[in-house]
């Protein structure tokens, strides 16, 4: 959330980003499944972690491990801001 907050010019608003992502009603149009922890862990997703893993893999992201211990390399997540 911090990286997104910085990207939109609001570096102190990571918590607000988290709230907005959590309230996203259109999961595929606004790709909040791409939000990951800063260390690469896959964290909460309203559609469930298994679905998050599936969506990331469909986008060509290599996901290591199995849910709930899955992780990715943060630099490979597509970020279309």
What is the Cα–Cα distance from 41 to 9, expressed in whole angstroms? 25
- How many separate domains does the chain show? 1
16 is catalytic: no
The tens place of each residue's pLDDT in the chain, 81 residues long, gives 888 899 999 999 999 988 888 887 877 777 888 888 878 888 877 788 888 889 888 988 889 887 667 888 766 665 554
Candidate list 4, 17, 32, 36, residue with the active-site label: 32
CATH number for the domain harbouring residue 30: 1.10.10.10
35 occurs within a structural domain? yes
Burial of 2 (0-12, 13-18, 19+ CB in 10 A): middle
Measured in degrees and rounded to the nearest 5, phi and psi for residue 67 equal -55, 140
- The reported pTM is 0.69
Query: What residue numbers bound the domain in which 38 lies?
Result: 2-76
Longest pairwise C-alpha distance within the chain: 34
């Amino acid at each position: 959330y911090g990286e997104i907050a910085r990207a939109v010019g609001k570096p102190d608003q990571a918590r607000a980003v988290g709230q907005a992502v959590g309230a996203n009603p259109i999961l595929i149009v606004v790709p909040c499944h791409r939000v990951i922890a800063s260390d690469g862990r896959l964290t909460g997703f309203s559609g469930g972690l298994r679905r998050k893993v599936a969506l990331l893999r469909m986008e060509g992201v290599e996901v290591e491990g199995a849910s709930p211990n899955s992780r990715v390399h943060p630099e490979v997540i597509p970020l279309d801001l």
